[in-house]
Amino acid sequence: MGGEHHGYIGWWGDLGGPKQRGIVTYSLSPYAQKPFAGALHAAFFNTARRVSSQAFYVIVPAAIFGYIITSAKERNEYLYSKAGRHELAALTA
């Protein structure tokens, strides 16, 4: 039947095998770290770089949309004026 165990073999990670040896770990004291070193400088220049790289994709469509909206509003105001109603009546008659 293979793998027969007759009792408690140990807790998770300690399954009764030989202890591991030769594992070295290193750590740095939390007082020696500078977690926000250069964060403000990097944040400013990363933001500027990302905004400038995406500006073309935002400004051009916004300008086109703005032009369409303003021209549509002007046309609507004209069509609801006296001259616009006369022109519209002449086109449909």
- In the chain, where the domains are located: 55-93
pLDDT of residue 61: 96
pTM above 0.75, yes or no: no
Q: And the tokens for 27?
A: 């750590």
Per-residue pLDDT, 74: 96
What is the SS3 assignment for 24?
Answer: coil
CA distances from 57 to 50, 61, 65, 68 (A): 12, 7, 13, 17
pLDDT at position 36, please? 81
Q: Which residues of the chain have pLDDT under 50?
A: none
Q: Rounded to an integer, what distance in angstroms lies between the CA atom of residue 59 and that of residue 52?
A: 11
- Residue from 33, 92, 63 nearest 84 by CA: 92
